[in-house]
């Protein structure tokens, strides 16, 4: 199983809503990532978790709150988002971040629209 | 920042060879990745270079020159399904996260 799954595939939310994006992998990977991708732009790193601990936060606004409840799951909690936060949110995982060459496997993404 | 530059768009003919260049300005990184991304889909891994030189993988090859701050992805025997965005990415020294270039949108025509 070399798959990273993400739910939901599409999400429309208002600026006052609270929602969560979910990501799951069963490859035994110990590093998980959240990226944000705007249309016709490359993915931009948001957060990195290593062994269920947050290791990188790319100065992401606090309205985005990541959570890694166990080694297979990664959540992104959303609250009071702005329309400019509308984007494709990609989750990725890799085997380990303690060695070089860590191929990242990407999920299909959640397309988020904030109205 | 790492200033990763790629051409925005390229067009090539089915069966031909195309080279997609990537230049960067940074001193420290573990390696350089190439990913393919079809519209509306997740990026998928193509190749990785850590040492200078050419890495060959079927119809795809990637080259790295650290001294010149330059890489390229070579696609041979182009097929229509190769129409996609090709992303050059540098693997950071710490945390091993990826910094992506803006991507090159390749259109393969009959």
Instruction: Summarize pLDDT for B41-72 with one digit per residue, the tens.
Output: 889 999 999 899 999 989 999 999 999 999 99
Coil, helix or strand at residue B71:
strand
Q: Does A103 touch chain B (CB under 8 A)?
A: yes
Phi-psi region of B15 (alpha: psi -120 to 50; beta: other; left: phi over 0): left
The pLDDT of residue A97 is 62
Instruction: Summarize pLDDT for A26-44 with one digit per residue, the tens.
Output: 999 999 999 999 988 899 9
The nearest CA of chain A is from the CA of B4 a distance in Å of 11
**B interface with A, Cβ–Cβ below 8 Å:** 30-31, 33, 41-45, 48, 50, 87, 89, 91, 95-103
DSSP-derived letter for residue B5 is B
Chain A residue numbers with beta carbons less than 8 Å from the beta carbon of B101 are 42
Chain B residue numbers with beta carbons less than 8 Å from the beta carbon of A27 are none
CB contact under 8 A, B30 and A101: yes
């Amino acid at each position: 199983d070399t798959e990273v799954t993400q739910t939901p595939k599409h999400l429309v939310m208002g600026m006052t809503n609270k929602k969560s994006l979910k990501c799951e992998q069963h490859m035994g990977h110990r590093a998980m990532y959240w990226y944000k991708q705007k249309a016709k732009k490359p993915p931009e790193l948001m957060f990195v978790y290593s062994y269920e601990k947050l290791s990188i936060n790319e100065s992401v606004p606090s309205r985005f709150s990541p959570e890694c409840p166990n080694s297979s799951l990664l959540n992104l909690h959303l609250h009071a988002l702005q329309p400019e936060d509308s984007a494709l949110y990609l989750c990725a995982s890799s085997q380990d971040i303690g060695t070089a060459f860590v191929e990242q496997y990407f999920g299909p993404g959640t397309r988020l629209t904030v109205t | 920042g790492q200033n990763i530059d790629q051409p925005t768009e390229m067009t090539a003919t089915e069966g031909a060879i195309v080279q997609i260049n990537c230049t960067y300005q940074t001193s420290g990184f573990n390696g350089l990745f190439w990913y393919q991304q079809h519209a509306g889909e997740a990026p998928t891994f193509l190749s990785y270079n850590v040492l200078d030189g050419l890495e060959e993988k079927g119809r795809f090859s990637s080259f790295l020159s650290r001294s010149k701050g330059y890489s390229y992805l070579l696609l041979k025997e182009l097929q229509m399904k190769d129409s996609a965005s090709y992303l050059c990415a540098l693997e950071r020294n710490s945390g091993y996260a990826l910094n992506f270039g803006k991507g090159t949108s390749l259109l393969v025509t009959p």
